Amino acid sequence: MPKRVPWFGLSASSSAESLRVRRLQVGFLLLLAITAVQVVWWLVDQARIAERIADDRVARLEVDREAAGAAVRAGQSLDELRAFYPDLLVDADGARLRPESLQAIEIERRSHLSQYRWEGGFFLFVLGGGILVLWRVLRREADLLNRQQNFLAAVSHELRSPLASLRLTTETLLLRDLAATDRRGLLERNLEDLRRLERLVGNLLETTRLEERQAVPRREPVDLSEAVSLAFAELGHRAAGTEGIDIDVQVESGLGLQADPVGLGTVLRNLIGNAIESAQTAGSRVEVTARRIDSEVELQVLDDGVGFEPSEGRRLFEKFYRPGSELRRNKQGSGLGLYLVRGFVALEGGEVEARSEGPGRGATFRVTWPAGEPAGEPAS
C-alpha cells in the first residue's frame, strides 16, 4: 500500500495565514483599546481645561469686584463703574457679582463639556464601527481560509481515491488472467471511478461558470419524473450500491417545470447523492417526493442519516463549506455540490432550503421552481 503523504505544505501555509489573521485581530483590538483610553483621557483633560477656564473667569470677576469696591469707596462715579464693569452690580454699598454672569460661565462650561463628550463619543463610535467591520472581514477571511483548506483536502481525497482505485484495478487486469465476470466487475469499478472524477471536474467547471456569471439557463419544459430517473442513472454505482437502504421516489409522471435540463440535473444529482451518502447504513431511508403547489413545483429530498446542526442550514450552501474538518472526514464530496444547487436554483428563479433537527436525525432539502407546462403538452 502506498504511504500516505501528509499535507505539510498546505498545513504550514494555512497555519501561517491563520496566525496572520489572528495577529491582525489582536492588533485591531489593541488599537481600539489604546484609542479608547486616549479618547477618555482627552475627555478628562478637556473637562479639566473647561473647569480651569471657568475658575479663571470667576477669579477675574472677583478681582474686578474688589477693584470696583475700592473705586466706590474712593468716590468714583457709579455710572462710570457700571459701564466699565458690566458683569458686576455696583451701588453705594460696593460691588457684587451678577448671578446671570456666574450662570453664563456655568452654561458655557457645561456646553464645552457636552461638546467634548459628543465629539469623543462620535469618534469612538466611528472607530469602533470601523474596527468591527475590519474584525468581521478578518473573521470571514479566516473562515474562508479554513474552508479553502478543507476544500483542498477534500479535492485531494476525491482525486486520489479514484486514481488509486483506477491504478489498482488496471494493474490487476494487466497482471492477472481473470474470468470474464471478474474482469467485467473491475471494468465497472473503473467506470464508476471515472464517473466520480467526471462529476468532480464538472462541479469545478460549473462553479467557475457561476462565479464568472457565464451560466445562462436555457429554460424549457422538463418532466421532473424523467429528470429524477436520469439523475439516479447518472449516479451509477453510487445509487446502486444502497443495499439495506429504503429508497422511495414519489414523483408523478408528467409533472413539468420550466428549467434548464443541465442545471436541473446538477441539482438533482447533488441532492440525491448527498442523501444517499448520508444514509449509507442498513435500515436507513431516502425519500424523493415532488408535487405541484399553485404556480410552483416543490421537490423534497429527505434522509434519516447523519443530519446537521439546525443553525448550519443556511451555511451548507456556502462555497467550500462543510461541517467539521476535512482532515477527519470520511465522506465524499468537495464542498461545492450544495453551492451549485443554490446557484442553479437561483438562476431558475427558485428557492432552496435545508432543515435538520440535529446530528444523527436526518435532513430535508426542499427546492421550489416556477411550474411549467405538463410534459408532452405544448404551451398555449
Section 77-91 average pLDDT: 86
Q: Which residue has the cell 442553479?
A: 344
The C-alpha cell that represents 230 in the structure block:
436520469
- 347, three cell numbers: 438562476
When mean pLDDT is compared across 147-151, 210-214, 266-270, 350-354, the lowest value belongs to 210-214
Residue 172 identity (one-letter amino acid): T
Mean pLDDT of 28-54: 83
Structure confidence at residue 325 (pLDDT):
45
Looking at residue 262, the DSSP 8-state letter turns out to be H
> Hey, what CATH topology would domain 220-370 get?
Heat Shock Protein 90 (3.30.565)
Check residue 367 and give its pLDDT: 92
Q: pLDDT tens digit string along 308-333?
A: 888 888 888 887 776 654 434 445 55
Query: Is 19 a residue whose pLDDT tops 90?
Result: no
pLDDT at residue 13, rounded to an integer = 53
Query: What confidence score (pLDDT) does residue 5 get?
Result: 40
pLDDT at 28 > cutoff 50: yes
Q: Residue 140 — φ and ψ, nearest 5°? A: -65, -40
- The answer, yes or no, to whether residue 301 has pLDDT greater than 90, is yes
Least Cα distance to 284 among 308, 310, 302 occurs for 302
- What's the pTM? 0.54
Distance of CA 152 to the CA centre of its chain: 19
pLDDT of 288 > 70? The answer is: yes
C-alpha cell at 119: 465629539
| Secondary structure in 3-state letters for 181-229 | HHHHHHHHHHHHHHHHHHHHHHHHHHHHHHHCCCCCCCCEEEEHHHHHH
- Could you read off the pLDDT of 122-170 as tens digits, one per residue? 887 887 787 788 778 877 777 777 666 666 666 666 677 778 888 888 8
Work out the pLDDT band at 11, boundaries 50, 70, 90. Answer: very low
Cα separations in angstroms, 214 against 198, 207, 211, 343, 369: 20, 10, 8, 12, 21
Interatomic CA distance for residues 271 and 222, integer angstroms: 18
Find the helix packing angle between 224-235 and 261-278, rounded to 10°. Answer: 60
pLDDT value of residue 4: 40
CA distance 47 to 114: 10
Calculate the average pLDDT of the chain: 78
Tell me the DSSP string of 313-369. TTGGGSTT--SS-GGG--S---S-HHHHHHHHHHHTT-EEEEE-SSTTS-EEEEEEE
Residue 281: band (very low, low, confident or very high) from pLDDT cuts 50, 70, 90 = low
Q: Which residue, 42, 38, 33, is CA-closest to 131?
A: 33
**323 to each of 27, 84, 147, how far by Cα in Å?**
29, 82, 10
Q: What does residue 362 show for φ and ψ, rounded to 5 degrees?
A: 80, 180
pLDDT at 2: 39
Band (9; pLDDT cuts 50, 70, 90): very low
What are residue 317's DSSP bridge partners?
none
Q: How far apart are the first and last CA of the chain?
A: 63
C-alpha–C-alpha distance, residues 256 and 225, integer Å: 8
To the nearest whole percent, how much of the chain has pLDDT over 70? 79
Of 281, 346, 328, whose CA–CA distance to 149 is shortest?
A: 328
- pLDDT the model gives residue 37: 84
How far apart CA 289 and CA 357 sit, in angstroms, is 20
Per-residue pLDDT at 216: 65
Q: How far apart are CA 128 and CA 32, in angstroms?
A: 7
In the chain, where are the structural domains located?
A: 8-148, 151-211, 220-370
Residue 12: C-alpha distances to residues 8, 18, 149 (Å)? 6, 10, 11
- Whether 270 and 341 have beta carbons less than 8 Å apart is answered as yes
Is pLDDT at 366 greater than 90 in this prediction?
yes
What's the confidence (pLDDT) of residue 318? 81
What is the rounded average pLDDT of the residues 80-98? 86
Spatial distance between the Cα atoms of 273 and 334, rounded to a whole number of angstroms: 13
Distance of CA 196 to the CA centre of its chain: 29
* C-alpha dihedral sign at 342, 153, 331, 329: negative
Amino acid at 379: A
Domain 151-211 annotated CATH 1.10.287 = yes
pLDDT recorded at residue 329 = 46
Q: Are 255 and 290 in contact (CB under 8 A)?
A: yes
